[in-house]
């Protein structure tokens, strides 16, 4: 198959959604498919290149930050993508378009599909669904939602990365939605044997934005100063400096390591040196870092929301806690930090559960969906 993937953020730009798309594209190329990715350009990146057999074509959208896209940069991506996408379709004759995120990439896929007759499938990641990340996109959807219905209706297949995302999409759009989880290269990430760190190491990985709730990490760990632990916070964002100040105010500067924005390879390296993934997020689709943490054999302490419901078996490989329940998070972490037996058991259980999210299984599912649409058309 010849596949044109549309996505407004693709590594090294963006977060977990882009990483998930990258792994899927890489897997499809390994199976003999031809994949071109149309994505956003940012200063310092080439406009065209090949990576792992994937042809990357980047277009100007005035993006300035790796960790966030404004409404204007998303709109610019759609406008810039119309001409470049149309040209690519005419030159390469893709069998199908695969768009990640209904907004903005889905709008581009819908228009290009109308112009060229090329069918597309849509993968929804949560933030592109009304109500998915209300603190970020609530205002946008108040006035753009009426324009999003054709994007979902015209797609030949709609995929959601978690059951939570699927259920939320079904509340707003009268379409069939199936779940295909985000995946990871489980075989390469799984440790040959699990060794607990002394002291135990917690890790957070994500954008420093309200959605990720980074201040809760400081608030909760401040209640556990009597225990020995270290915590790494990986990522960048508008709240980064504020988080640093709060850590100093809590007199925990020596306990924390804030690295700023790091590459996916560095994230994986830190996971291999950690014991617990700590993510008190307000909303999540199915976080790729969560899947990678499973594969790396980390216990998980996370909010009982979104995709974490798919990743954590409560009391088996970690704990799911109401995001507002600070005492609940404190009790869960105290148990894991103070009991090596519990922590070891949880970490072993995470490795076992990770096999459900093996990227090879995920790519198999996407390839079946893509081929079904191409065959019908």
**pLDDT for the residue numbered 67:** 66
Give the residue-averaged pLDDT of 154-164.
96
pLDDT confidence band for 138 (50 / 70 / 90):
low
Strand partners of residue 36: 4, 55
Give the residue-averaged pLDDT of 26-48.
96
Mean pLDDT score of the chain, rounded to an integer?
94
pLDDT confidence band for 71 (50 / 70 / 90):
confident
Give the residue-averaged pLDDT of 77-84.
96
Which residues, other chains included, contact 27 with Cβ-Cβ below 8 Å and sequence gap of 6+?
359, 360, 362, 363, 366
Strand positions, DSSP E, the chain:
2-6, 34-40, 48-51, 54-59, 96-100, 120-124, 157-160, 178-179, 201-205, 230-234, 256-260, 276-279, 299-303, 318-321
* 364, burial (CB in 10 Å: exposed 0-12, middle 13-18, buried 19+): middle
**6-15, 91-100, 230-239 — which is least confidently predicted?**
6-15
Do the strands 54-59 and 48-51 form a parallel or antiparallel pair, or are they unpaired?
Answer: antiparallel
Give the residue-averaged pLDDT of 62-66.
79
Domain with CATH 3.40.50.2000 in the chain: 2-183+358-376, 186-357
Q: What dihedral angle (degrees, nearest 10) is formed by the CA atoms of 359, 362, 367, 373? A: -150
Q: What is the distance between the alpha carbons of residues 263 and 269, in angstroms, rounded to a whole number? A: 10
Q: Which one is predicted more confidently, 190 or 70?
A: 190
Q: Which one is predicted more confidently, 187 or 341?
A: 341
Q: What is the distance between the alpha carbons of residues 104 and 78, in angstroms, rounded to a whole number? A: 7
Q: Does domain 2-183+358-376 have CATH number 3.40.50.2000?
A: yes
**pLDDT for the residue numbered 317:** 98
Taking 90 as the threshold, does the pLDDT of residue 376 lie above it?
no
Strand partners of residue 230: 201
**pLDDT for the residue numbered 319:** 98
Strand partners of residue 50: 55
DSSP 104: I
**pLDDT for the residue numbered 65:** 76
- Tens of pLDDT, residue by residue over 263-305, are 888 999 999 999 999 999 998 888 899 999 999 999 999 999 9
- Tens of pLDDT, residue by residue over 344-363, are 999 999 999 999 999 999 99
**pLDDT for the residue numbered 35:** 98
Three-class SS of residue 139? Answer: helix
Give the residue-averaged pLDDT of 45-73.
88
**pLDDT for the residue numbered 189:** 92
- Tens of pLDDT, residue by residue over 103-136, are 999 999 999 999 999 999 999 998 889 888 766 6
Taking 80 as the threshold, does the pLDDT of residue 137 lie above it?
no
Residue 349 Ramachandran class (φ > 0 left, ψ -120 to 50 alpha, else beta): alpha
**186-357: which CATH topology?**
Rossmann fold (3.40.50)
Give the residue-averaged pLDDT of 153-178.
96
Model's pTM, two decimal places? 0.86
């Amino acid at each position: 198959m010849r596949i044109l993937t549309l996505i407004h953020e693709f590594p090294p730009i963006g977060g977990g959604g882009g990483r998930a798309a990258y792994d899927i594209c890489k897997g499809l190329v390994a199976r003999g498919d031809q994949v071109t990715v149309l994505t956003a350009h940012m200063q310092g990146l080439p406009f065209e290149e090949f990576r792992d057999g994937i042809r990357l074509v980047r277009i100007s959208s005035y993006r300035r930050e790796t960790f966030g896209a404004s409404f204007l940069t998303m709109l610019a991506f759609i406008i810039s993508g119309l001409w470049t996408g149309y040209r690519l379709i005419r030159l390469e004759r893709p069998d199908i378009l695969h768009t990640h995120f209904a907004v903005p990439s889905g709008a581009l896929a819908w228009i290009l599909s109308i112009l060229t007759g090329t069918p597309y499938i849509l993968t929804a990641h949560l933030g592109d669904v009304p109500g998915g990340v209300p603190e970020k996109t609530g205002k946008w959807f108040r006035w753009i939602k009426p324009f999003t219905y054709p994007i979902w209706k015209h797609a030949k297949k709609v995929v959601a990365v978690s059951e939570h995302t699927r259920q939320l999409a079904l509340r707003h759009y009268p379409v069939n939605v199936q779940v295909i989880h985000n995946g990871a290269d489980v075989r390469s990430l799984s440790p040959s044997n699990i060794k607990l760190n002394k002291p135990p190491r917690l890790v957070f990985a994500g954008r420093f934005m309200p959605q990720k709730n980074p201040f809760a990490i400081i608030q909760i760990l401040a209640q556990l100063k009597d225990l020995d632990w270290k915590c790494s916070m990986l990522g960048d964002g508008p709240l980064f400096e504020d988080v640093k100040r709060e850590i100093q105010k809590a007199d925990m500067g020596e306990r924390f390591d804030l690295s700023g924005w790091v590459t996916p390879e560095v994230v994986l390296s830190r996971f291999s040196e950690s014991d617990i993934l700590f993510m008190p997020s307000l909303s999540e689709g199915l976080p790729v870092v969560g899947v990678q943490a499973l594969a790396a054999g980390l216990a998980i302490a996370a909010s009982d929301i979104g995709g974490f419901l798919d990743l954590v078996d409560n009391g088996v490989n970690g704990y799911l806690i109401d995001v507002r329940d600070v005492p609940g998070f404190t009790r869960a972490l105290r148990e894991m930090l103070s009991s090596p037996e519990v922590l070891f058991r949880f970490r072993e259980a995470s490795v076992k559960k990770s096999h459900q999210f093996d990227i090879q299984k995920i790519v198999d599912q996407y390839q079946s969906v893509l081929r079904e649409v191409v065959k019908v058309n």
